[in-house]
Each structure stands twice: as C-alpha cells, then as structure tokens.
Structure 1
C-alpha cells in the first residue's frame, strides 16, 4: 500500500471526527457558506456550566455504564461457570439468547408494567436494572466458550489442596480470566454507553444520559450542541479502544 493511499485512508477515517469537532466549536452556519461563520468555545463551556446540564449527563452516563458493566461482568462470569458444567448446558445457554429476540424498545415495553409496579420507573436504578436484561445475557454468552476441562481441573486441584471456592476464584480463575474479563467489561460498557431504547422508555426522560442528549439535540435541529454531545459520546470508546490495545492486546502477544 502506497503512502498516499495510507494518508487518504487515515484522512477518510478521521474526517467524521474532525467534522463533529468543527461543528462543536461553530455557530451560525447559513447556506451556502462552506464553514460556520463564527467559531467559539462557548458550546464546550456548557459541559461545566450552563442550563443544558451536559456535564451532569456525562457523569450520569459514566456512572451508569460503569455500574452496569461491573455488575454484568461479575455476575455473568460466575453464572456462566455453573452453566458450562451443568448437564443441560445447551438448554440453559439458549435462554441467554432470549432477550435478543426482541428489539430493546419492545423488550422495554414488555417490562414497563413491572417497573411501574416496583416503583423503578423513571429512576436511575430502574434504568440500570433494565440494561442488565441485555448486558448480563451477553456476558453469559461471551464467557460460554471460556470454561473448559483444564480450568475445571485447576479448580479441583485447589480444592484438593485444601482451598475454598473463593480462593479458587481469587488465586486461579480470575487471574487466568483477566484478559477475558477486561474485554467483556469494555464491550458491556459500550453496550450500556450507547443504549437508547431501554434507557429512553424506562427512564422516561428523567435519566438524561449522553446518548439521549444527542437524539434530543438532533430532534431539535441544534446541530452544534448535537455535535458537542457526539464528541463527548465518542471519547470513552476511543479511550477504551486505546486501553484495550495497550493492555489486553499486549498481554496476548507477550511471550
């Protein structure tokens, strides 16, 4: 591949990000101007201050996605182990695919009544629980291919030497699964971070995550704030991509 082709491909990949960044610092873009007439960092100040509350949406989204990813990764890792060694493994594993039969919005509509009765409708805890319905099964499916007879033999060896189940997890299973756990955590974080349907219907607008803010500004035809929210929305995925490459990928190629 020639140098020119590489530069062209890099430019093509980076163009959407550069375009969003340009819009986020622009104001007043009348037709047929090629670029916005005014440039200002005033939009970015809304992240820290201002009535838009973008800063609160960022913190809310980070807290929600971290909570969902942590809970789903830990629970799915533990549950997937029991499913993997169960005599009816295939039957139990097939249930993990059931939530994906419906679109997230349809799934949320089916669960809506129960959340209202439980008093979780329009709350942070309700949105967190709703997202577990799609992230937890994903984690179970992800770890389904991780467990094997070698790991089972290692766990039994720990117990033979007098170790407990907790020690087997802490000293053997978790260290061995470190790369898989981090990869699963990253993927579940991104699922929660970009989730719209469940969050919108169960949260009824009272849990304004960053993803909801982007759609709100798009519906309002506010392209500058939509671009700003989009820039904030892609920062964690880029950071996680770099971290995954720097940590997980490096561990896999290490001798």
Structure 2
C-alpha cells in the first residue's frame, strides 16, 4: 500500500499559516517573558483589561481607526461608483483610467511627503480629517478601477430603458444600478476599508504622530520593545477585517457563486 504524504503536507501548511495568529493571541495574554525562561512569569487577561481606561490609548486608537476606515470606505465606494460611470463613458476613457494608477506609482511615504506641503497650507496637517482625505486619495482611484468593469453595453441598455420609461438619472441609480451592483459595492467597501485600516505610510506622514490609529500604535509598541502590547494591538487590528471577511463570505461571495 502506497503511503500518501499529501494529508501530512496539508496539515503542516495549515499549522504554519495558523501558528503566527495563535502565537500573537498567546503573547497578548503574557507579560514579563525574559530569556532564558521557557514560559512567561505571568499569563492572564491583565493586558486586555488595561485596554479600557488605560493610558496606552488602545481603545481610543481602535475607535479612531474604525471611524477613519468606515469614512474612507463609504466615501470612496459611493463616489467611485458614481464617477466611474463618467470615466467609463468618456471619450478619453483609457487616458483617464491610466491617470488613476498615479497614486500607486509612488510609495505611500513618498506620496504623503509630496502632499504634506498642501495639507499644511490648508490646515489639515496632523488632523484626523487630513488623514481621511489622504487615505481617500489612494482608496478612490482603486474604487474607480474596480467599478470600471461594471459599466458596459448591458448596463447602458438598462439606463436607456429607464430613460425611455420616463425615469430620471437618480431613479436609474437608486432603482436599477445600485441594486445591480450590490455585491460589487460591498466588495469594494471591504477592500477600501482594508486599504485604510492597514495604511501606515500616509497616516504617519499626514498625521505627524498626532493621529494615532491602531496601525501607528502597533509600530510604536514594537519600537518601544513592548511586544506584549504590540501583540495585543495586532489582535485588535486583525479582528475587524476578519469580521468583514466573514460577512462578505456569508452574504456576498455565496450569492455571487
């Protein structure tokens, strides 16, 4: 009987993929773990209890990150969907589409440094509003590119049908186009949320240390060699995307399939 190594290899791959996340969770419950001790001197919920009402500001950073990411995702998705129609039907569609890739040519830190002068002039440097606007400038082009595949002959036919029946452009969007693009809207919202949620370069430059999102907090704890709070921050950083991924899988991907 021939021995199959496939189940063992798959099991090993699953363990290797899951191990970093499990280790982060375990590390977030530990403290005072020094070499050469094999186990930490304390293992419990003390770190998690300090999230609420603690001077480390993790709860405030979590709330701020959620507000910023939801704002960027909502504005980028809606404006990207509406304006992508104009771009797709424009006579210079290919040129305009090419321009949407411009923010991705530069690294986020370099892009943020280029924008910092203008944000300083308009008084948005070091503010949460400035961070939202800066992140919007990289999330919005993504939404334009994402929705470009939605507009075509089929969509145009539905728009013409609504116009023929006496419907306005608003009715065309609200009654036909938005329901048709429901799945794509949710996927784009999820993607732009992730772009904003994990953004570090632009946030660190435009926020200039005053806007401490959860991503900024992770790097601050790592720089301070506070690995336990760094692991706790990573757990908080991972939870919302996992929740959104679950929602997308349950309510979007299954319906599309």
User: Which of the five TM-score ranges fits, normalised by the shorter chain?
Assistant: over 0.9
| 84, 93, 97: which one aligns with 1:89 | 93
Distance in 2, matches of 1:13 and 1:238, equals 15
Distance 2:36 2:23 in 1: 17
User: Which residue in 1 is equivalent to 2:206?
Assistant: 202
* 1:192 CA displacement: 0.1
Where 1:206 maps in the other structure, the secondary structure is coil
Q: Using structure 2 for the length normalisation, give the TM-score.
A: 0.95
Aligned partner of 1:242 in structure 2 is 246
Question: What secondary structure, in the 3-state scheme, does the structure 2 residue paired with 1:92 have?
Answer: helix
CA shift for structure 1 position 3: 4.8
Q: Which residue of 1 aligns with 2:215?
A: 211
- Partners of 1:77 and 1:155 in 2: CA distance: 15
User: Out of 31, 35, 38, which is 1:31 matched to?
Assistant: 35
**Among 153, 161, 165, the residue aligned to 2:169:** 165
Deviation track 1:231-252 (CA, whole Å, cap 9, x = no partner) reads: 0000011111111111111111
Distance 1:103 1:3 in 2: 41
Asked whether the 8 Å contact 1:23–1:227 carries over to 2, the reply is yes
What are the ranges of 5 or more consecutive residues in structure 1 without an aligned counterpart? none
Deviations 1:30-81 (A, max 9, x none): 1122231211211111221111110010000000000000000011111111
Q: 2:90 aligns to what SS in structure 1?
A: coil
1:182 match: 186
**How many residues are treated as equivalent by the alignment?**
253
CA distance in 2, matches of 1:249, 1:43: 36
CA RMSD of aligned residues (A): 1.2
After the TM superposition, which residues 218-229 of structure 1 pair with which residues of structure 2 at under 5 Å, given as runs? 218-229=222-233
SS at match of 1:59: helix
User: Which whole-Å CA distance do the structure 1 matches of 2:43 and 2:12 have between them?
Assistant: 27
Q: Is the 8 A contact 1:46 1:55 kept in 2?
A: no
- Structure 1 distance, partners of 2:241, 2:20, is 15
In structure 1, C-alpha distance between the alignment counterparts of 2:186 and 2:81, rounded to whole Å: 11
1:198-219 Cα distance to aligned partner (Å, 9 max, x none): 1011011111100000000000
- Residue segments in structure 2 that go unaligned for 5+ positions in a row: none
| Alignment correspondent of 2:256 | 252
Contact conserved, 1:217 with 1:223, CA < 8 A, in 2?
yes
3-state SS, counterpart of residue 31 of structure 1 = coil
Q: Work out whether 1:104 is the aligned partner of 2:108.
A: yes
2:134 is matched with which residue? 130
> 2:20 corresponds to which residue?
16
2:65 aligns with one of 46, 61, 67: 61
Alignment deviations for residues 73-102 of structure 1 (CA, whole Å, 9 cap, x no partner): 011111111111111110111110111111
